[in-house]
Amino acid sequence: MRTALIGYGLGGSAFHAPFVHTTPGLELSAVVTGNPDRQAEVRARYPEAEILSSVDDVWSRDYDLAVVTTPNRFHHAHARSAVEHGLHVVVDKPFSGTAAEARDLVDLAAARGLVLVPFHNRRWDGDFRTVQKLLADGALGAVHRFESRFERWRPRPKATWKESGDPADLGSVVYDLGSHLVDQAIALFGRPVDVYAEIATLRDGAQAEDDAFLSLTHRDGTRSHLHAGALVADLGPRFRVLGDKAAYVKHGMDPQEELLKAGTAPGGDGWGEEPESAWGELRAGTESSPVRTEPGAYQLFYAGVAKAVLHGDAPPVDARDAVIGLEVIEAAALSARTRQVVPLD
């Protein structure tokens, strides 16, 4: 599949290009970037890829798949243009700016018979895969609370579009880190029935919201407590999952992101493995035992995209889950303004 990568910032260079380049059935045919330094990097790392300076150049050439990893405000427009030009599409998070835009995109792709996949690669974090395995094995019993955190200690804001105060830039921490947290909760427990949220801008000079707590109530009664913040001087556990038989507690982040930022080729021996010192624990009162972290496996996302397009398999992430995620984010914004629980049903 001839693939055009639209955008070559951190997302394009670390999370997309290496996997498109190494996934059987995919070819990194073109990269869209107007930045001279990034163009030079593409030439050095992917000499077979054509460099395009404008997204409009994609529509006049013969590609099969477009990967949209431009700044957030352009995700919907670029993805819609790709579908209108007959391309299958992977869209980085946030999938669109609103749930209504997301539904429009899903409906258009379905009408054209095209595969449309939200890039929720965090479903292949090793710690999240471990949570899935524990739930499937019944090791925790009936889960009543799922706590999940993406927290950082970044007390000084950055002058980037990711921290822009313009609502069109979708710079809020809820759209950034929160998109992953919400998607993981949906993947585990399904569409929530209501949402409560506290969202704030805490850092001096910050323009975008940089601290958020979301509480989601799922249909079976499970509550997801999701935390995202940039002013967290003491990082909490990445996961704390409470059941009526045991709890799973895990600190630290999946190692794949740092490997990719360092330029490590994905998928080799030991890829995504954590040392035993980083494993989480299964706890019940005073009793505890280590739980080996499942290997992180971002490579499975693009392998799933290739199978969906070439063989008609189900996509690795259902685009309708991204619609639900944006419904949750919109409900969270309303809840934070009104200080009330917002029903989704």
Whether 171 is covered by a domain: the verdict is: yes
Do 164 and 79 share a structural domain? Answer: no
CATH code of 204's domain: 3.30.360.10
Do 78 and 110 share a structural domain? Answer: yes
Residue 343: how many other CB atoms lie within 10 Å? 11
Looking at residue 6, its pLDDT comes to 98
DSSP 8-state secondary structure symbol assigned to residue 7: -
CA dihedral in degrees (301, 306, 311, 313; nearest 10)?
Answer: 20
Residue that finishes a domain, picked among 75, 91, 119: 119
Tens digit of each residue's pLDDT, the chain (345 residues): 999 999 999 999 999 999 999 999 999 999 999 999 999 999 999 999 999 999 999 999 999 999 999 999 999 999 999 999 999 999 999 999 999 999 999 999 999 999 999 999 999 999 999 999 999 999 999 999 999 999 999 999 998 998 999 999 999 999 999 999 999 999 999 999 999 999 999 999 999 999 999 999 999 999 999 999 999 999 999 999 999 999 999 999 999 999 999 999 998 899 999 999 999 999 999 999 999 999 999 999 999 999 999 999 999 999 999 999 999 999 999 999 999 999 997
Residue 97 domain boundaries: 2-119
Do 256 and 146 share a structural domain? Answer: yes
Whether 302 is covered by a domain: the verdict is: no
Do 278 and 130 share a structural domain? Answer: yes
Looking at residue 119, its pLDDT comes to 98
Do 241 and 180 share a structural domain? Answer: yes
Looking at residue 275, its pLDDT comes to 96
Whether 173 is covered by a domain: the verdict is: yes
Looking at residue 267, its pLDDT comes to 87
Question: Residue 316 in contact with residue 112, Cβ under 8 Å?
Answer: no
What tokens appear for 184 in the block? 């993981």
Question: Residue 116 in contact with residue 105, Cβ under 8 Å?
Answer: yes
Looking at residue 178, its pLDDT comes to 96
pTM of the predicted structure, to 2 decimals: 0.95
Looking at residue 105, its pLDDT comes to 98
Whether 259 is covered by a domain: the verdict is: yes
Whether 309 is covered by a domain: the verdict is: no
CATH code of 45's domain: 3.40.50.720
Residue that finishes a domain, picked among 86, 103, 119: 119
**DSSP string spanning 103-157?**
HHHHHHHHHHT--EEEE-GGGG-HHHHHHHHHHHHTSS-SEEEEEEEEE-B--S-
The total of structural domains in the chain comes to 2
Do 270 and 152 share a structural domain? Answer: yes
pLDDT in tens, 104-123: 999 999 999 999 999 999 99
Whether 252 is covered by a domain: the verdict is: yes
Looking at residue 169, its pLDDT comes to 93
Do 238 and 209 share a structural domain? Answer: yes
Helix ranges (H only) for the chain are 10, 17-22, 36-45, 56-59, 75-84, 99-112, 126-137, 177-189, 256-261, 299-311, 319-338
Do 336 and 201 share a structural domain? Answer: yes
Do 159 and 284 share a structural domain? Answer: yes
Do 141 and 249 share a structural domain? Answer: yes
Residue 49: how many other CB atoms lie within 10 Å? 20
Looking at residue 159, its pLDDT comes to 87
Whether 102 is covered by a domain: the verdict is: yes
CA dihedral in degrees (103, 111, 308, 13; nearest 10)?
Answer: -60
What tokens appear for 76 in the block? 């919907």
Residue that finishes a domain, picked among 69, 90, 119: 119
Looking at residue 345, its pLDDT comes to 76
